[in-house]
């Protein structure tokens, strides 16, 4: 199982806001911890964001993250609408 970390405090605050405002977000993140590449439409990004992944949290909210398979980490870089990437 992977551990979710955030890139910085700002990203952490935004992610915590979505978790507290939508009960399903915590459940979705729990599933993502099991398989960060296949859950809930997770897919790799291309172009200048190659190497990062995006995950749908609900409504118009996306989470952009990197995966560290050695340390079993999901490193969240951005949370917001499609405008984040």
- Domains in the chain (CATH in brackets) are 3-84 (3.30.2310.20)
> Which helix H or strand E contains 79, and what residues bound it?
strand 73-80
pLDDT over threshold 70, residue 84: no
3-class SS of residue 70: coil
Per-residue pLDDT, averaged over 6-31, amounts to 90
> CB–CB of 55/65 below 8 Å?
yes
Give me the half-sphere count of Cα atoms (radius 13 Å) on the Cβ side of residue 26.
7
Distance of CA 42 to the CA centre of its chain: 9
Phi, psi of 2 (to 5 degrees): -90, 155
Give the residue, 84 or 63, on which the prediction is more confident.
Answer: 63
Per-residue confidence band for 85, with pLDDT thresholds at 50, 70 and 90:
low
| Structure confidence by residue, pLDDT tens digits, 22-68 | 888 888 899 999 999 987 789 999 999 999 999 988 878 899 999 99
Please tell me the pTM assigned to this model. Answer: 0.89
List all residues 6 or more positions away from 75 whose beta carbon is below 8 Å from its beta carbon: 5, 6, 7, 65, 66, 67, 68
């Amino acid at each position: 199982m992977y551990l979710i970390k955030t890139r910085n405090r700002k990203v952490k605050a935004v992610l915590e806001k979505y978790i507290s405002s939508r009960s399903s977000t915590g459940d979705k993140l729990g599933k993502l911890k099991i398989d960060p590449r296949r859950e809930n439409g997770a897919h790799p990004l291309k172009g200048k964001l190659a190497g990062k992944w995006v995950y749908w949290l609900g409504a118009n909210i996306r989470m952009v993250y990197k995966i560290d398979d050695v340390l079993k980490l999901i490193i969240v870089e951005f949370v917001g609408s499609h405008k984040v990437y």
